[in-house]
Chain A
C-alpha cells in the first residue's frame, strides 16, 4: 500500500431512527456495529481523519438531477435530505481543499434511483451520488467526473441518469444480473448515442473474490480512467460483495475492499449497499477509511477471515479475464460503434419498463434523445406509472449546445397543459426547474 498519509473527511450518518420497515435490511441497526468499530478503533482521534456533520440537500439539489413525480417532497423523507446532504458535504470538503478525500458513510443509499422517480426502488428514492455530482458542477463549473460503482448490485439508477452524459464516466462492477436484482448491467449496456462508451458494465460470476475485483481494477478500470482523465473520481462504495452478505453471492473481504480503495484512490467515496451488518460492515468500513487516509490497513480483517475458504475458482478467474478483455475492446472501439449506432439519424428512442420493487410501482417510459455532436443531447421523456401519473419531461443537459436548448424550450412551451398530469422542464446549466 501507499504509505503517504492523506487528510480524510468522514461524514457519518447512520440514521439510527430511520428504517424502510422494522425488519427491512435498510433499518436502524444497519450501521450500528460499524459505528461501534469506528469509535472503538479511535479513528476519529487520528490527526488526519476529521468528522463532519452532514448538511441538508435542498429540493433544488434534487431537481437538478431528478424528475420527481409529483414533486421531490412527496417521494423523499428527511433522511434522504441528510444522506444526499452528507454526500454533498463530502464533496464540499474535498472541493474546498479542507481534506484530500472524503468518505460519506450515510444511509439511505441511492444508486438504484433513476432520473424519473415515482417511488422507491432497490431501497433507493433519490440518487445521492448523482445529486452530489450535479451539485459539484453547479457550484464549481463543468467537470469530467468518473463514478466507479463497486456495489454488488448493478447501479441501474446511476446508469440511467448518466446514460447520455459524455462528461460522466460511469463504471459499474457487480454480480451478474442474471443472478441478482436488478437484472441489468451487461457489457452491451454501453451508453447513449452521444455518450457511447461512457457507461461501462462488468458483470462478475457468483463467488468472485478479491482477486477478480483487483484484476478488473488493474486491467479495465484503471486503464480506462487513465484515458478518460477525470477531474474527480467517485467511488460508490457498496459493501455487499462481502462473503458474509446475506442478499448476494460474492466472496470479497475487508482486505479486498481496502486494497481496491487504496489503488483506485477516489476523491470521494459514498456508501451504497452492504447488509452483513455485524460481520462485514464494521471491518470493510474501517478498512476503507484507513485506506483513504493512507494508514496501514493490513491488520483489518474479519474475525472469521479465511482467504483460502473464499478464494475464487480458476474457472471464475478465466471467465473474468475474458470478460475484461472483451469490455476493454468495446471501450477502445467506442467511436466506430457510435457511427454505426446513429447511422445519420436525428433522434433515438428507448422504451423502458421499470419496476419499483420497494414501493411496488411499475412504470413505462419512452426516452428520446437528440443525436448531437456538440453536447449530451436534448432529452424528452414520457412516463406513465401504475400510480396513475402520466408525465412529460424536457431535460436540457449540462453544457448544452444552443440548438438542443432552443429545441427543448420550444417543446416545453408547445406541450399543452392538460395533456399530462405534469409537464417538467429541467435545465442544468441555468439551474432552472419548471412544472406545469
Chain B
C-alpha cells in the first residue's frame, strides 16, 4: 500500500492505494499554522485500521517551503559571491547581506584569480557581528570548477549553522539564478529541517517502517532525510502533484495538454509523449528565477470564481477573485455563474447566479442569456489562447544546431486533459476551440494526492570533461577528478549514468524506476594555434525523467490488455 498526501493551500488531500487501486481518500482543511496536524489528520482518516506492516511508502507534497518564501518567513542569509567580470555587482546583489570577494573561474573552469583570505575573513566577521547563521557561497562558473567555493568555505570557520554551495544546486549555467537558488535554499533551511524533524517524530510514534518521500517541483520524489540537504527542491511541489496526478489518471504516451481549472487560476502543463515537460532552467518563485528543476507550467489568472465586469465597453475577467461565485453567496458575477445561467451545470443557487449575470447584462443592455454566453465564451477563449501561446513558445524555443532547426521535434497535442471544478461544462467548448479532443480523468478530485503517491524518484547530473585540462567535473556531486588523455564521449556518458544511478538510489529510487535518459550530449574538438587539436570538450547531461513508478505502469498496461 502507498499513501499519497498533498498539503494544499486550503485542503489537504490524502489517498491510500492498494495494489495501485484507490482504497480510500480523504480531504481535510489545511491548518496553515500547523501543517503536521493536517498531515496527521489526513493520514489517520485513510489509514486507521490498516496494517502498518503493509505500508510500502508515504509520499508528501507540502507547501511548507513555498509558504515560507511567499510569506517571507525566511532566515537572513549571508551571501558571499565570487563574481569576476561581467554584469555589474549591483545587478547580482540579492539581499542586504550580499558581499563580493575576489576569485574568478572562467567558462572552461580555469581559475583565473584566487581567493583573498583577509577579504573572506572580513566578510565572516561582519556576518558574525550581524548574528547571521546561514551562509550561501556562490561563484560564477562554479559548476565548471567548484574548488573556489569550497576554498572560501574552508577560510570561514564552521561555526555557522549551515552553508549552501552554489555548485550543488544544479549543473546548469546561470549565475544570477544560482545566487537566487542558493539564497533560497539557505533561507528556508531551518524551517524545512524543523518540518522534516517533526514528520520523523510523528512517524516514529506510529508503527510503520515505511520510507517517507517528499515530492519535488519536477514531479519526482526524494527520500525525506535526503531532502533535508536540499530544501529548495521541495518548493512548488503543488502544481507538480497535480500534473503527475493527471498523468497517472490518464496514463498514456501521447503529446497532450493538461488544464487544471481552479477558482482563481488555471494551470497549463504539456506532455511530450507522456512525459511532462520541464522548465528549461528552473522554476520561478516570488520573482526569484531559480535553477530548481521543475515541471513547466503556465498559470493564468482566470478561474471559475474570477470576477467578471463590464469595463470601458468590454467584458473583463479576472485576475482577481472577490470570493466564491454569486451562486454560492459571493459578491460578484463569475464564470461559474455564467455556466449555471446557461444550464451547463446545476450547482449552487441558480436564482443568485442569474441575478449576478443580469447585473452586467444591464450595463451592456443585452439579455441574461446573451451575457452568460459572452462571459462563458470569453473564459474559454482566454484559456485556449493561453494554451496556444504556450505551445507556440515551446515549439519556437531557440535551438543551436542545424539538425534541430531542420529536424527538431514539435509538440502536436492529441488530447487535452481537464481537471478542476468547471472541467465538465467547459471541456466540450475548449476542445472545439483547440481542435483536439478533451478527456476528463476519473478521481480528478484527489489527482494531486495520487500524483504524489505514484511519482518516481527523479534527478539529473551534468558532466563536463575537458581533456585538454585533463579534468572532469560533476558539480552537483562535488566531483572534480583527473581523466586520462583518451577519455571519450562514451566514457563520459557511462560515468555520468553510473553517478546518476548512484545518486538516484541514494535519494531512495528503486532499481525498476531508473529510467535514465541522456538529455545533452555534445563533443567539441578544441583547436588552438594553427589548426592543432589540443583536446575534447565533452558535455553530458543525464536525468531520471519524471514519470510514474514501474509497478503502476505494468499494472495499468495489464488492465488495458
Contact = CB atoms under 8 A, between A and B. Distances in A.
Contacts of A92: none
A42 B405 contact: no
A387 B87 CA distance: 51
A45 B86 contact: no
Contact of B401 (A15, A23, A43, A299): A15
A335 interface: no
User: Taking chain A's interface residues, is the majority helix, strand, or loop, or is none over half, making it mixed?
Assistant: loop
A13 B400 contact: yes
B129 interface: no
Interface in A222-243: none
A368 interface: no
Given A45-B177, A51-B398, A282-B107, A303 B85 contact: yes
A299 B526 CA distance: 28
A305 B112 CA distance: 12
Contacts of B531: 23-24
A37 B144 CA distance: 12
Interface stretch (A27-35, A135-143, A340-348, A394-402): A27-35
A186 interface: no
Contacts of A16: 400-401, 522, 524
A42 B400 contact: no
Interface residues of A, number: 49
Contact of A53 (B87, B106, B113, B396): B396
Given A32-B524, A45-B289, A78 B402 contact: yes
Given A32-B537, A299-B85, A17 B525 contact: no
Given A23-B531, A29-B524, A286 B86 contact: yes
A299 B89 contact: yes
Interface stretch (B30-38, B168-176, B383-391): B168-176
B365 to A, nearest CB: 38
Interface in B506-561: 522, 524-527, 529, 531-533, 537
A197 interface: no
Nearest to B141: A40
Nearest to A247: B530
B91 interface: yes
Interface in A26-66: 27-29, 32-33, 35-37, 39-43, 45, 51-54, 56
Nearest to B523: A28
Interface string A256-300: 000000000000000000000010001100100010000110111
B522 to A, nearest CB: 7
Given A299-B86, A299-B87, A45 B401 contact: no
Nearest to A12: B398
Contacts of B398: 12-13, 51-54
B174 A303 contact: no
Give the bracket for the number of chain B residues in contact with chain A: 35 or more
Interface in B64-85: 84-85
B402 A42 contact: no
B293 interface: no
Contacts of B141: 36, 40
A56 B405 contact: yes
A303 B112 contact: yes
A296 B104 CA distance: 20
Contact of A298 (B88, B174, B399, B529): B88
A373 to B, nearest CB: 45
Contacts of A52: 398
A79 interface: yes
A24 B530 CA distance: 9
A45 B532 CA distance: 37
26 contacts: A13-B405, A14-B400, A16-B522, A18-B401, A22-B525, A22-B527, A23-B527, A29-B524, A29-B525, A33-B107, A36-B107, A36-B141, A36-B173, A40-B141, A40-B175, A51-B398, A53-B398, A53-B399, A56-B405, A79-B402, A82-B405, A246-B529, A296-B91, A299-B85, A299-B89, A300-B86
Interface of A: 12-18, 22-24, 27-29, 32-33, 35-37, 39-43, 45, 51-54, 56, 77-79, 82, 246, 278, 282-283, 286, 290, 295-296, 298-305
6 smallest beta-carbon distances between A and B, as pairs: A23-B531, A42-B176, A36-B107, A303-B112, A39-B173, A296-B88
Given A18-B402, A42-B177, A303-B106, 7 more contacts: A12-B400, A13-B400, A28-B525, A40-B140, A43-B87, A296-B90, A299-B87
Interface of B: 84-91, 104, 106-108, 112-113, 140-141, 173-177, 289, 396-403, 405-406, 522, 524-527, 529, 531-533, 537
